[in-house]
Structures are given as structure tokens and as C-alpha cells.
Structure 1
């Protein structure tokens, strides 16, 4: 009410009651005035690595859940998908300044020397039971140094964990490099929440590849198109078209749609959709042209199953639905790794269905049917309350 008086604007559509604000204060949101409702749909079952998952997707885009569900069906009828974790490494790269390029290079040589790794790892690792330094890769710009620290982070997404480890190392380095000036704990060589070639090439968070072979009759009967049409469209749209656009990590149809919807449902940081949606979709005719091999390679999926919004009741329930709620007591890090493989599998399903709709000329028709409405939602809600 105070905000409405101050601004002169109505907030009648923004709910205030019915939310546990104690669960977010000091960790999720400051100065809350309400909460935004996003519907959650289920796409699946997604059959990946021999297990079925009903995948929650929070979205306001009509067709998205239905389309992804069709992709899940096609994968299931073809025997399922295989999702493989390639790397697990969260990164942080401070920016360090020196009086000369020579001194910046001296520190670079020290940090990248195998002889010093155990000493640096001991300093990095002492602030966490789960954060373990994997490697340090440096870049220089004149007399400025950008050391990119990579580490495993258990079931946490791990930004705070890796930042603490980096601070430990920087404090340790001051003895031999007293002239080092730490300008920022993050120097954008990490790189977090922005398009960056280094995440596409080196990876960040979880790097995953997911593949499936879709039977020819499933392509025809479920996806309503042909193997040849899909492979041609994928080459000319996802590969050539994206290259013509100067795309960076965007060699796909709509990976970010699925990534964002799953992130919102499970309490993950939606801003990290920027790098988490890096994806190249490949399609190839196999078995004498009868069947379709499809894969998505995603080098920087940034997920965790503890911390941040994952602890909120609704988001926690969605993680529980997937069997990855909280930390894995028996094998720390296993839940976050599993979630990344599920995300890649769901992206595979989404890519299959949208590409098929495009190849068959169904996209506009589907969106006109499911993504447009002449209903007045606010009036419908008010009428429902009045009649109850």
C-alpha cells in the first residue's frame, strides 16, 4: 500500500499474501513487495541413461511445454537418449595489475607452473570441503593479469565457493608479489552471465553432450517430417544460418527456451541462462538414411541443487520430482551432475520438436493455436473469486 501511495500506481495484480518471506530474506531478495506467479508444466517422461524423468518447466510461452513433450515422446519411442558429463568446473578470474608487463608475466609463469600447483591447491581448498582446484589458465593484457581458476564445487553451483578459494590464493601470493594490485575478484575472464568465447571453448560449470538415434517411423509419425528434411534444415539454419549471424555458442534452434524454463522451475539463477544455453545441435542421417542421429553439445551448463533459490518450497519440490533435491550425501556432486545431464536431455527433446515443426511448416499454426489467447485473465480470476 505504501508503494502504491508513493507511485500512484496500482499493484492489484501482484499477490502479497501466501508467501514465506522469512525463507528469502538475507539470501534471495531484498525489499520484497510480492511475488510473480509463473505456471509450471511437465514435459516427459524423458528417457535418458535408462531412467525416466518428468521434467518441470516454468514458462509463460504457449507451445513450449507441449512441443518439448513431443520431443520426449520421440526419444522414448526410439529407446531413449544418452547424456554424458564431460567436465565439471566452475571458474573465477580476478583482474590483477602490476607496475610492468614483466611482473604480470612472472606471476603468470608461477601460477601455470606444474611445480607450484599442489601449494596453490592447498591454499585454494582450505575454505571448503567440496571446492577442489583443478587448473589455472592465465591471460595477459599489457601489465594486467587475468588468472582463470577452475574447480569442482560439489552439489553447489559454486560461485561463492570458487571466489573464496581464489581469495585464499591471492592472500597467499602477496608474500612473493607484494606489488600485486587486486582490482577485482572478477575480471570478466571467468566469464559469468555474459556471452564469452572462453565458456564456449573451455567450458564452465558442467559440460555435457546428449545424443539419441530417432527411428525413421517415429520421425514420420510423431514428428511429422522426414530425416532428410531435418538434416538439411539443421545444416542451413543451426549451422550456416548461425554462422552468418556471427553467433557465439548459438548453433541451435532454441536451447535457451528449455534451459530457462527448467532453471526457473528448480530455483537456479535465470541470468546464467546466457552461458548455460551455449549449444550446438547436430543432426545426421544414419542406418542407410533411415534413421536420425541427433545430439546437443552444451559446454557451460551452470547448475546446483543446494543454495540460492533451490531451497524455496516450490523450487525444492521440482528438484525433488527429478530426484536431485539437496546435496547427495553418498556421492557429493552427483545431484548437480545428474541435473545437468537432464537439462541437456530436455534441450535435445526441445530441439527435435521445434526443428520438426519448422521442417513441416507447423510453427505458425501451432503458436496461433496455443500461444495466443483472447481471454482476459484478470477478469477471469476476479469472476472465479466472486462465484466461489
Structure 2
């Protein structure tokens, strides 16, 4: 009888050729077209949404259909753009930190030259200092062309820190990022001082269209916006945010266009507003900090490049114009989905009926 030990499961597994890991696939559909106007996009255009939540496509599609029934459709206005990084310096005391902050403010032109000499597109716009104890936070705000700007502002901030430390102000390096930026976190500072592209999307829908296409009224939708988005969000402790589900549309659009999906954390902080007017329902979505770009990491993947081409975001334009176009399209898509969901929730039972109809699951595998 052999005394050789039986091979263990781990040994067998180790000797067998490893099967290639499957690629993560996310269902993607083009929805629309959306009728657009404003300072970044004009005309009708379809948008890509990558999501496992299949009811999102017809929901955004309903909003897009309404946009085509309204003159001018959805008007998207890009208000401003900037990307930020907050560096952290350590001083022996608050007095030293304060004196250093004054020197930094006085020599801002020199710091602007540091940034522009190190990048073709980065430009230093503002510096916002904050002192806590002996800690000096400096929030640098830069324009970054068509890039979302994560790496661009970090590189610029490294150069700025080196120059500031060379001035011998009695402060030392603390961190390249001090969380006063604020990146991928729900904070107030991004809304107050700005980060990314700030966009307002708005539409004025005739009463007849509201009743026929949304099976609701301007009064009922406006009441729900106040009661749900504003009062409900307030009692929940929402931070600079009053909306129903911006994150759904943002994530779907971000994944389809190669954006850093973690930025939906701050991107989904935004405000839905509605009014009953003589002409119909005024409905708007304000997104103060969309962190998006048309160039940079992930933008050279085949499906992303195809999406950018189809969206018209690969045109020869001034630096930043393609990304402003992308941000406007994202904001309009958010409006379509937000309007459709809120209208559905004004009718008891409609939301769950739609989900049951659109998300029928296959029998589980044995």
C-alpha cells in the first residue's frame, strides 16, 4: 500500500492553470435624444447610461421625451469651473501660521507663475487659507482645461508647496492633501467655494404636457419637491443637498464616459427646485460640483472614446469647452431622471408597479 499523501485541494488548485478572471460588464444604453439649449450645448443629443438598474433608462427617457415637447428643451447653464487641492503646512504656533498665510496671499502672482510654467492648461485662480491651531491649510483652486484635474492640481500643489517652503516662513510640510479640498467626501466647502463644474439645468413644462406625459400636475410635483427633497432631506441631516436620486444618473453617466465614479459622492450633492407658474411647471436641478473631464485617465478606452465622439466632446474647441459640454449633458440627464421619478411618486403605487414590470428576474441558477 502506498504511503504517499493525497494531494490537497490547495495543491491541486495551485498546479492547475488559472482561469482568466471575467471582465466586469455593465449594461449600457443610449437614451433620448434630449433637447438642449444654453451656454454649452444646443440641439438634440442622445446620452449613454451604464447601469444595472434597468428602470433608469425608461425613466430618463421619459424626461428626455418631455424635453423634446418643449421649445428650447432643457436649458443648461454652466456657471463656473475649478478644481482644488488643499495642502497642509505645520507651524509651531498659530501666530506663525497666520504670518505665513499673509505672505502666501501677498506673493500670489509668483505662485500663479509657478503653476502656469509647469502646465499647459493649469491656472491658479484662488487660494483660501484656513488655520486650525498650529495647522495651516491652503486650498488652491485651479482651472484645468478639459481634464477633471485630480492629478493636475496635485502636481501643481507639489510645486506650490516646494516654492512656499523655500521662503523659510517657519512652517513645515504636513501633507499634499489636507481634506479641505474636498475630494470624494460630502462636505459644505465644495458648494461654498466651488469645485468642478457648476451647472444649473432647468425646464418650463406646459400644464397640459405635465398632465399627459407625467400623469401628474405642477402643484403635486412642486408640493412633493418641498416635502420630500427639502423637508425630508433636512430632517435626515443632508449636507447641502435636496434631491431624490441624483446619484443614480450620475453613476450611470460617469461609468459610460470614463469618469472617476467615486466623485458621485460630492457630485450628488445638489438641489431640486420647482415652481407652479402660469405657463406650467418650472423645474430645475442645480449641481454645484460635477467632477468630470473629457481627457485624462480612462478616456482612451474604446467604449469611452466612442461615447465622447458621439456626445460631441472630441471637437476642436477652446480648452475646457468640451468638458463644459459634458457637464451640461450630465446635468440635463439628471433633470430627466429626477423629474420622472418625482412625478411617479405623486401617484400611489406607480413607482413599484414600474419596477416590477421592468425588473422581472430570471429564475435563479441551480
Q: What TM-score do you get using the length of structure 1 for normalisation?
A: 0.86
Deviations 1:79-121 (A, max 9, x none): 20111111110000011111111111112222334xx221110
Alpha-carbon distance in 2 for matches of 1:165, 1:62: 41
Is contact 1:126–1:165 with CA below 8 Å preserved after alignment?
A: no
Indicate which of 89, 103, 106 corresponds to 1:96.
Answer: 89
- Report 1:1-388 matches (<5 A): 5=13, 16=20, 33-49=21-37, 50-79=42-71, 80-113=73-106, 116-177=107-168, 179-287=170-278, 290-325=279-314, 328-361=315-348, 362-376=350-364
Is contact 1:250–1:279 with CA below 8 Å preserved after alignment?
A: yes
Is contact 2:198–2:289 with CA below 8 Å preserved after alignment?
A: yes
Secondary structure of 2:244 counterpart: coil
Report the RMSD for the aligned CA atoms in angstroms: 2.1
Is contact 1:92–1:186 with CA below 8 Å preserved after alignment?
A: yes
Runs of at least 4 residues off by over 6 Å: none
Is contact 2:124–2:140 with CA below 8 Å preserved after alignment?
A: yes
Deviations 1:320-366 (A, max 9, x none): 111113xx544111111110011001111111100001012311111
Is contact 1:124–1:132 with CA below 8 Å preserved after alignment?
A: yes
Is contact 1:46–1:52 with CA below 8 Å preserved after alignment?
A: yes
- Please identify the structure whose Cα radius of gyration is greater: 2
Secondary structure of 2:305 counterpart: helix
Secondary structure of 2:77 counterpart: strand
Is contact 1:62–1:372 with CA below 8 Å preserved after alignment?
A: no
Gaps of 5+ in 1: 17-32, 380-388
How far off is 1:375 after superposition?
Answer: 4.2
Is contact 1:258–1:347 with CA below 8 Å preserved after alignment?
A: yes
Alpha-carbon distance in 2 for matches of 1:62, 1:119: 52
How far off is 1:34 after superposition?
Answer: 4.0
- Residue-pair matches, total: 350
Gaps of 5+ in 2: 1-9
How far off is 1:35 after superposition?
Answer: 1.8
Alpha-carbon distance in 2 for matches of 1:67, 1:330: 32
Q: What TM-score do you get using the length of structure 2 for normalisation?
A: 0.91
Residues 167 and 48 (structure 1), Cα distance of their counterparts in 2 relative to 1, 3 Å cut: same
